[in-house]
Structure 1
Amino acid sequence: MSLLTNALGMGRNMAEARMTETVTIGRFEPDTDPVTLDPIRVLVEERYSGKARVKYPSAAVSDRSEPSQVVAEQDVMLSIPTGSPAAFEGDEVRVDASTVDPSLVGRTYGIKGRPQAGQTTSHRYPLKELS
């Protein structure tokens, strides 16, 4: 094994140790709760379910204009273990549990693009917050 391979392995282990959320990634469709009749999102195609890390790298919020409204956006990143099945732009991410921040549970995000690739310690996807 090379020094690089050993360093990447150690980095990946450390990255996974910081993955404190459990997420479900896939394609969701709108539906109605049969009891409350509230609108809900139902998973129809799962791509990944397991440990992850949701991170807001900065508290900075940027404003952008949409037709007839101003939208505030923050950068959000999702890290999942290297070697996990691929997620695609437009897939949704639902946070099912968190051992460090209960306010993340129930939030949903959309994947905005492809993850970083190459000599990385995890797959890091850019996200947009949906709810």
Structure 2
Amino acid sequence: MSVLQRGRESSERRMTETVQSGPYKSGTDPDSGDATNEIVSTTYSGKGRIKYETTTVSDSDTSSQTVASQRLILSIPTDSPRLQDGDGVTVSASLSDELLIGRFYTVEGSPESGQTTSHRYPLKELS
């Protein structure tokens, strides 16, 4: 077994979330008035790993505007279908952190390519 294959198997063992991803629509809950997001067509459903690469929000000052950002990554197996920029991602279950359940994200770019142990997509949290 190759080193890359062992790395992929190790990466998949750390995928403790169940995620769904695909095109989504935004709306408003008629009772509460809260914003809602719903995946309308599932591209991928299966194991994944949501990783907050930092627990602190970093501030930067560009063009006299302060911007706060936090880097989020979704890892899914390398044999998974490709997610598209702008797809929605929701967490339906988690063995490691139940606070992730119900959160909604959007894919914010392409995954890392090449000899990787998983597809890692940058995310933006919506809720």
Deviates more, 1:41-50 or 1:80-89: 41-50
From 91, 94, 101, give the equivalent of 2:90: 94
| Superposed CA RMSD | 2.3
From 40, 57, 63, give the equivalent of 1:61: 57
* Structure 2 residue aligned with 1:49: 45
Q: Please list, as runs of the form range in 1=range in 2, the aligned pairs for 1:9-48 lying within 5 A after superposition.
A: 9-31=5-27, 39-48=35-44
Q: CA deviation at 1:40?
A: 2.8
Which 5+ residue runs of structure 1 have no aligned equivalent?
Answer: none
Say which SS state the counterpart of residue 110 (structure 2) adopts.
coil
* Structure 1 residue aligned with 2:124: 128
Q: How far apart in 2 are the matches of 1:17 and 1:60?
A: 26
Q: How far apart in 2 are the matches of 1:73 and 1:106?
A: 21
State TM-score, norm by structure 2.
0.86
Q: CA deviation at 1:116?
A: 0.5
* Structure 2 residue aligned with 1:8: 4
Which 5+ residue runs of structure 2 have no aligned equivalent?
Answer: none
Q: How far apart in 2 are the matches of 1:109 and 1:72?
A: 17
1:51-103 Cα distance to aligned partner (Å, 9 max, x none): 000001122312357xxx85532101100000100001111110111001001
State TM-score, norm by structure 1.
0.83
